[in-house]
């Protein structure tokens, strides 16, 4: 009976059900006009409250909890959003003045006995950065990592289809280190694979898949990433 009543409203079977449908859907057609001064002030007030609450939560809870999971974490470490997700056994070493955006993942490898994440000073890591660490991922100082960059330091499955079907782990070649040298810049949505070194002050263009070493002071782009430009060397010291 109830189902029949609901179907009648949905199908607007007759005038009675059409009237009920119009009454029930009336709120969806209401649009409250914006009062510029009032609603603009309310918008910024709400944004200010959200920002203040998030900073307080990170300062009092999330940052100390993250520090408790590290071997070392330098001064002025700052989370810009929620607590990173740490999976497996990872030794984490963070330098000074490091910023990490929200929804990050730090996962230890399946093949390495110990996985190590090292981050130098004055480095920024963007939203949804993911570290799948083989033996080691080393990020230098003054490095900029944009949003949704993924470091893949190990294979999840073996290449051999028979071994894959048997749910066997990859062999020892399925894991390797990743190194990002000082002053490098990695654009958003990039994937950095194992056994790769990104040279000093190199730039990895948005959406690139890095499968081989990137020379210092170069710009790479594409899948697989290739050198598209050479930069003038700079002495940072």
In the sheet that 218-221 helps form, which strands lie side by side, from edge to edge? 78-79, 99-100, 124-125, 144-145, 185-186, 203-204, 218-221, 226-230
Q: Read off the tokens for 202.
A: 């190199």
How does DSSP assign 26-57, residue by residue? GGGG--PPP-HHHHHHHHHHHHHHHHHHHHHH
Q: Rg for the chain (alpha carbons), in Å? A: 25
Angle (CA) 154 161 172, round 5°: 35
Rounded Cα distance between 171 and 152, Å, is 16
Is 157 annotated in the active site? yes
Measured CA to CA in angstroms, residue 96 lies from 104, 124, 142, 217 at distances of 19, 11, 10, 24
Both structure tokens of 33: 């006009």
The whole-angstrom separation of Cα 63 and Cα 180 is 24
Nearest one of 125, 227, 100 to 180, comparing CA atoms: 125
Positions marked catalytic: 157
């Amino acid at each position: 009976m109830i189902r029949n009543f609901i179907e009648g409203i949905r199908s607007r079977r007759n005038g009675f059900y059409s009237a009920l449908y119009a009454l029930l859907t009336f709120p969806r057609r209401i649009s409250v006009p914006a009062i510029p001064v009032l609603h603009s002030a309310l918008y910024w007030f709400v944004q200010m409250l959200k920002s203040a609450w998030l900073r307080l939560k990170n300062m009092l809870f999330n940052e100390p909890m993250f520090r408790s999971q590290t071997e070392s974490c330098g001064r002025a470490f700052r989370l810009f959003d929620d607590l990173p997700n740490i999976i497996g056994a990872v030794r984490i070493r963070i330098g000074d003045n490091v910023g990490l955006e929200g929804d990050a993942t730090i996962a230890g490898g399946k093949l390495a006995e110990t996985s190590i994440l090292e981050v130098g000073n004055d480095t920024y890591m963007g939203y949804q950065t993911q570290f799948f660490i083989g033996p080691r991922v080393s990020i230098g100082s003054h490095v900029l990592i944009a949003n949704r960059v993924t470091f893949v330091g190990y294979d999840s499955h073996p290449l051999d289809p028979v071994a894959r079907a048997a749910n066997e782990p990859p062999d020892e070649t399925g894991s390797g280190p990743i190194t990002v040298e000082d002053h490098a810049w990695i654009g958003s949505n990039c994937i950095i694979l194992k056994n790769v070194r990104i040279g000093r002050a190199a730039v990895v263009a948005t959406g690139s898949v890095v499968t081989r070493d990137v020379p210092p002071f170069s710009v790479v782009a594409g899948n697989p990433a290739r050198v598209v430009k050479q930069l003038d060397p700079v002495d940072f010291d």
